[in-house]
Structure 1
Amino acid sequence: MLAAQRGLEFGADYWELDVHKVADGTLVVFHDDVLDRTTDISTHPDFSDRRSRRIRDYTWDELQKLDAGSWFITSDPFGTIAAGEMSANDLDLMRGQRIPSLKEALAFSRKHNLPVNVEIKNQAGAADDLSIVGDVVDIVHELNVQDLVLISSFNHDYLAEMKARYPEIPLAVLVENKHPEDIVAYLQRFGCTCYHPDYQMIDVALVSRLMEHGIRVAPYTVNDMDRAVSLASGGCFGIITDYPLSLRQRLSR
């Protein structure tokens, strides 16, 4: 949630988050399938006897015991701490950050009128269980954020379920490594308004072709600002990046 707040302050047009369903059915915002990389679960005394580190094997109450922020200070994954770009206050706020629920995240979007791309993560060990689709939409309706939400996933069965049951909610197909065959027809099959490929997979010609069919392209994860500006200039509707402030500054020149 600290990242969401900073993104808002930095002028991001929207934010992206990843959703998992955990052991008690709660929907939580977390990127990885396992907890080791970005929490203190490996050293937490309450979980020393737990063999599984998969997030889906833990309840909401258990997950709330974990520190999900200090890892960033320790690993400095983008070099921003070493470069002096993080304030002492931000570092203090990172320590003890908790895994948020989807409700908490969508309430933030509603409060600030900030559009949000909700990526439904492929549920490890239960990818064929489509119930997460309805669970996500229930919360979207409960918090009245239909006007702010875009749903995406690498699991296209989730998108097919979404289109069949909730055609009013806009969708984006996520892909990596290769494009679908007959890409326009494939995207139209899901009624997709957006396409989110790895940025290394696209060029201006593809972006223009998709735009002709009313499909907006938002590549991920573009952290080279020269490349980001080039893609934006080439017609990409959105740029998914870890550096919203840097990109906002470049685009404002």
Structure 2
Amino acid sequence: MTPIPSFAATYPPLPGFDLEGHRGARGLLPENTVPAMLKALELGVTTLEMDAHVSKDGKVLLSHDPFINPAHELLPSGKEVPEEDVEKYVLYQLPYEEIKKFDVGSKYYDRFPEQKLMQTHKPLLEEVVDSSQAYLKKHNLPQVFYNIETKSTPAGDGLFHPEPEEFIDRLMAVLEVKNILPYVIIQSFDVRTLQVLHQKYPQVRTSLLVENKNSLEQNLQELGFTPTVYSPDYELITPALLQAAHNKGIKVIPWTVNSLEEMQKLRRLGVDGLISDYPNLYKQLEKD
């Protein structure tokens, strides 16, 4: 692995305006894969955004869904995943060596018609970090951040993922070995995982994902502490929300912003960054 620069004991500030590649570059390459992450780096993102799950044998891997998704993933044989068989392919019920055999990039995904098709797999988090760090070094690029979502819900404990404390411990074990904690943000809709993280690893940055219409105060009260980042659906952004968050020293980085017009509008409003499936649009944003 390419080593992180020798600032492991320090926590540098987040980018002034954070350009994040959602699931790497989902609009252009298969989501949550090494090729998608490297494409995002090529396009100049300052943060790689990704989703984490845990396999049956305790490996931390990248995937948004808790199962093999029939919409854009294939069986190891290359055949379609029957909708009625989805429950057979829950990631938390499969060892990683089995998960790795599924093809997650060769099937056309109509939601993202520009996505380049290629045979690829769900990678381990450690593979993503190693590949990304090697790419940065090879191309003499500045260090990026890693924004990692814990994909969990109370109803999914023990079925789709481990309980919050084990989830966080397994995730953090990888990140500590890779020595990248100064460049990590852990995000979640599930306040439980963020609470465990804040209690056990208070130095690590957190981001509260939000899709509800509760006030900032209500959501922070449920969380129980002040996160580094507040990350709502972009349609929930208002000047009042931005002002309230900034008054508390919280950055606001909305998701998932996929048009240049919306990016420009949100930047003018004063958001602190963007999360997009199309990080190729960022270059045009910077020119405007």
**TM-score, normalised with respect to structure 2:** 0.76
Which of 71, 74, 77 matches 1:37?
Answer: 71
Query: Which one of the candidate residues 86, 103, 127 is aligned to 1:104?
Result: 127
Describe how 1:8-157 pairs up with structure 2 within 5 A. 8-35=41-68, 36-41=70-75, 52-71=88-107, 74-80=108-114, 91=116, 94-111=117-134, 112=136, 113-122=143-152, 124-126=156-158, 129-130=163-164, 131-157=166-192
Stretches of structure 1 lacking an aligned partner (at least 5 in a row)? 82-90
1:244 paired with 2:279, answer yes
Q: Tell me: CA distance 1:50–1:184, structure 2 relative to 1, closer, same or farther (3 Å).
A: closer
Rounded to whole Å, the distance in 1 between the matches of 2:162 and 2:50 is 21
- Structure 2 vs 1, CA of residues 176 and 188 (structure 1 numbering), >3 Å: closer, same or farther? closer
1:171 maps to which residue? 206
* 2:261 aligned partner: 226
Aligned to 1:87: none
Of 12-21 and 119-128, deviating more is 119-128
Counterpart AA for 2:148: V
Once residues 186 and 52 of structure 2 are traced to their aligned partners in structure 1, the CA distance between those partners, rounded to angstroms, is: 10
Q: Tell whether the 8 Å contact from 1:17 to 1:29 is kept in structure 2 after alignment.
A: yes
Contact 1:22/1:56 (<8 A) preserved: yes
Structure 2: any 5+ residue segments left out of the alignment?
A: 1-33, 137-142
Pick from 158, 161, 186 the counterpart of residue 196 of structure 2. Answer: 161
Cα distance, 1:99 vs structure 2? 0.7
Question: Which AA in structure 2 matches 1:67?
Answer: D
Aligned match for 1:4, one of 37, 47, 52: 37
Which amino acid is the alignment partner of residue 69 of structure 1?
G
The whole-number CA distance in structure 2 between the counterparts of 1:215 and 1:187 is: 16
Structure 1 residue 20 displacement after superposition: 0.3
Higher mean displacement: 240-249 or 150-159: 240-249
Contact 1:198 1:221 in 2 (8 A): yes
**Aligned alpha-carbon RMSD (Å):** 2.4
Distance in 1 (alpha carbons) for counterparts of 2:232 and 2:104: 28
Query: For residues 214 and 42 of structure 1, what CA distance do their matches in structure 2 show?
Result: 47
TM-score for both structures, normalised by structure 1 = 0.85
Distance 1:107 1:180, change over 3 A: farther
Identity of aligned residues (%): 26
How many corresponding residue pairs? 239
Instruction: State which drifts further: 17-26 or 223-232.
Output: 223-232
Amino acid in structure 2 at the alignment position of 1:78: F
> Partner residue of 1:217?
252
Over 3 Å counting, the alpha-carbon distance change for 1:234 and 1:161 in structure 2 is: same
Q: CA deviation at 1:188?
A: 7.6
CA pair 167-52 structure 1, distance change in 2 beyond 3 A: same
The aligned amino acid for 2:37 is A
Instruction: State the Cα distance separating 1:37 from its structure 2 match.
Output: 2.7
Could you tell me whether the CA contact under 8 Å between 1:151 and 1:170 is conserved in 2? yes
Match of 1:202 in 2: 237
The AA in structure 2 aligned to 1:133 is: I
* CA shift in 2, pair 1:223/1:192, >3 Å: same
Q: Secondary structure at the residue paired with 1:98? A: coil
Q: CA deviation at 1:58?
A: 1.3
Residue 240 of structure 1 aligns to a residue in which SS? strand
